Every structure is written in structure tokens, then in C-alpha cells.
Amino acid sequence: MLADKTVLVTGATQGMGRHLALELAAQGAALLLHGRDRARLDKVAAEVRAAGVPVRTHLADLADLDQVRAMAASIRSAEPRLDALVNNAAVGGGADPTRREVSVQGHELRFAVNALAPYALIRELEPVLPEAARVVNVASMGQEAIDLDDPMMEREYDGLLAYCRSKVAMIMMTFDLAAGLAEQKVTVNAVHPAHLMDTPGVREFGLTPVTGTDEGVRPTVRLLTDPALEATTGRYFHQFEERRAHDQAYDPEARARVAALMSRACERSRTA
């Protein structure tokens, strides 16, 4: 399924992203690897090249929408087509969940990296997504309703709650973009890959990992390769099973308000 396909993986330098890149390389995909640390990015790229597939790297901090757009522009200029995109990069709850952090543009950090950046990246890469391209957004079973009157959590803050809200925003964005890209026959789905994987984000927050990253790789790769899912779009998967996400993700008013927030945030950054 992946021979002669080009796949972009964000957050490919560690955790599930690294293992996902190696698995996709083993299946013959040409890889575009994103990271924000040049040394780690080059190390993973060398591992992928050892599998005998083409690999190109893109350095960007997803907490800066200008860098997200610059990366997308670089990909558009270099790649005639992008057959798949995995939005895997994420910021977890943080070592100090009481400390509110913000992105370069001033948005709450988890919302910015986990939801705004994937949204902007998909929109910016639309011109090179061919018919039958697949987009997979790595979400989480940890989901909490967004406070629509305080989406950036300026009044009360908790890092883990911010993370869970950002994943609801990502799932909302998945549903909306799936509908918007349906005419192009580009599929967009979200997946909770595995519970408490052994990743830096889980350990940083002080949680005990219960699964390896390989367990999360398999359901993610399935969404990229399974012929039975060729036309499946706008869905949320709990590993291999399609499930219902948080109720707020299906609320039309909530979805519209979050979509407007994302659109405004990206547009303001573009014109700043």
C-alpha cells in the first residue's frame, strides 16, 4: 500500500512518531519527517535511510504558526504530491501542570500545538493532497469539554485539562475538514492509538506508561493503509474500533465557535 507513496509525519524524532516513521519506511514509503530538534531529526532520518527509502526532513516549531506555514510552503514547492499526513506531534500536560504556557502568537500552548498547528498544516497542504490522500490526526481518549467562553484557559489553568481540551478541538477539526475535503476524496480521521504509551509526554507528567509505542503504531498505520477504509472519513477511532468521541465534538454550535476561533487565529497570524 505504501510503495511509491509520500508520507509526512510530524513529531517524528521520539516516542510513537519515531517508531511510526520506521514502520512506514519498512513498508516502502518515502518519508517527510518533521521535528524541532535538528540533532534528533537527523538521527531518525539516518535510521530511516538505512531501510532504503527516500527521506527528507523539515525543522519547525509547531508553537509558531509562521513556522508551520513556512514548512508547508517548503513541502509544496518540493513535493508534487503528499499521499498521507500524520499529525502526531503534541504537547502533553507538562511537568508543572499549574504553569500556563503560550505559543509565539499568544495562544494557550497545548491548544496551539495540538489543534491549531495540525489545522493550519492541513489547510496549507491542501494543494498537494491528491485524490485518495489520507490524513490521520493522533488524538486521545483523554477528552474534556472546551470552555467556549475561555478557550485559552486564561482564568483557571491545568495542563492536563488543557491537553484534553486540545484533543477535543483536534477531533472537531477532523470532522469539519473531512467534510470540507470530501469533494477531493481526501479522508481525514482521528485516532486514539493506545493508552498511556511510553512517551516523553507521559513520563514528564509523572504518569506510569502501560503500553509500548508499537501498540500505537499499528492502529495509526491501519488508517493509512487498510483498503477497507479508503472512503472512511470524519471518524474517531479508539485504536482499531470506531467510537463516539466526546459529546461536545458533535455539538454544531460548539464546533462552529471552535472552527471560527481556529480560522481567526490562523488568519491573524498570516496578516500580522
Catalytic (active-site) positions: 163
d(CA 32, CA 147): 35
Question: For residue 224, what is its C-alpha cell?
Answer: 493509512
DSSP 177-228: HHHHTGGGT-EEEEEE--SSBS-HHHHHTTPPP-B-HHHHHHHHHHHHH-GG
Residue 112's Cβ-count burial label (10 Å; 0-12, 13-18, 19+) is buried
Question: For residue 29, what is its C-alpha cell?
Answer: 514509503
Distances (CA, A) of 244 to 8, 55, 88, 249: 27, 36, 21, 9
Question: 3-class DSSP state for residue 100?
Answer: coil
Question: For residue 74, what is its C-alpha cell?
Answer: 517548503
DSSP single-letter state for residue 157: -
- Residue 201 CB contacts under 8 Å (≥ 6 apart), including other chains: 15, 90, 91, 92, 93
Which residues are 55's β-sheet partners?
A: 31
d(CA 186, CA 130): 7
State the SS3 of 60-96. Answer: CCCCCHHHHHHHHHHHHHHCCCCCEEEECCCCCCCCC
